[in-house]
Amino acid sequence: MAEPRSESANPGPHGDRRTAAIRRVLWQVLLLNLLVAVAKLVYGNVTGAISMLADGLHSLMDSSSNIVGLVGTAVAARPPDPGHPYGHRKFEVISALGIVFLLGLACYEILSNSLTRLFEGGTPIVTPLSYVIMLLTMAVNGGVSVYEQRRGRALASVILVADSLHTRSDLFASMAVLIGLTGSRLGVAWLDPVAAIVVVLLIARVGYRIVVASLDVLADARVFHPEEIAATAMEVPGVIDCHDVRSRGLPDHVHVDFHLTVAPDTPTRTSHAIAHQVVDLIQERFPGVRDVTPHVEPPEDEEAGAAGAPPAEAP
């Protein structure tokens, strides 16, 4: 019976390039978010538009999430060590949950300002420049969200995809500000707080999606259907069966293990060669698979026969 074999891909320079690319995107987005936040905060303070000030604070929270992402990717890039033999990639997911926390703060902030405006009243000064600033910042946020999401998918980065959703929530908040400003200008002041409450619900929905995706990774939810891995393994000559397939991890950093049944009387050296072929084929078919651990065993009837066979009689 062949011993289990583990095959791990060496991250090498590719992992370093990926991390550098993710951090480059986060720095670019951070600078843009700060620019948007300053524009909203300054003009909101000048005109007394509470909704614009709140939206500016929301943009600052976007910047904070970028910082969380930069810290998270720095930790996640550390190589495996004796205390973390599977690496540190889950810290990237923990950072994504940190973004959800910031989304929660944004919801509380917007909701508080909305209720204050709804019950206490108040009308901001609305000028054409108010619309120009909001439309420009919305264009920036929309472009940033699309760019960050595309780069996140290309780099298989949970942190970039999560942060792009956060940036998109700021776009929704800006739309609510536009509605509120228009309502104030037309004398319908209650439109401002009601629109903001709708934004809170949209942000909460985004946060829920991030939490579900992050908890799946932290709870080691399966990444691939066992049938997909088993069918691939069965293509290798000498494999009779593949069962007990398990997979876990991030989309680009998946760990897979399973049991392989080989033909009876297969020599140990041949069993290892078969296992190597299975590992190579799985990593070729599933690019995100980083580590494969097959356990090679003979057919069950042979194991049972060997265990229950009577001892050989002495000559």
User: What is the per-residue pLDDT across 274-292, written as a single tens digit (0 to 9) for each?
Assistant: 999 999 999 999 877 888 9
Q: What is the dihedral of CA 115, 53, 210, 64, to 10 degrees?
A: -140
User: What is the per-residue pLDDT across 18-63, written as a single tens digit (0 to 9) for each?
Assistant: 778 888 898 998 999 899 889 988 988 888 777 787 788 778 777 8
Q: Which single residue is written with the structure tokens 């097959």?
A: 294
Q: What is the mean pLDDT of the chain?
A: 80
pLDDT at 132: 92
Q: Structure tokens of 282?
A: 């799985």
Asked whether the predicted pLDDT for residue 10 surpasses 70, the reply is no
- List the one residue out of 174, 171, 201, 195 whose CA is nearest residue 54: 174
pLDDT at 11: 47
Averaged over 248-261, what is the pLDDT?
88
Q: Residue 261 — very low, low, confident or very high, per pLDDT cuts 50/70/90?
A: very high
Do residues 46 and 23 touch, judged by C-beta distance below 8 A? Answer: no
92 versus 234: which is more confidently predicted?
234
* Three-state SS at 239: strand
pLDDT at 311: 42
Asked whether the predicted pLDDT for residue 302 surpasses 70, the reply is no
Averaged over 159-168, what is the pLDDT?
79
pLDDT at 301: 55
What is the spatial distance between Cα 50 and Cα 45, in angstroms, rounded to a whole number? 8
Residue 124, phi-psi category: left (phi > 0), alpha (psi -120 to 50), beta (remainder)? beta
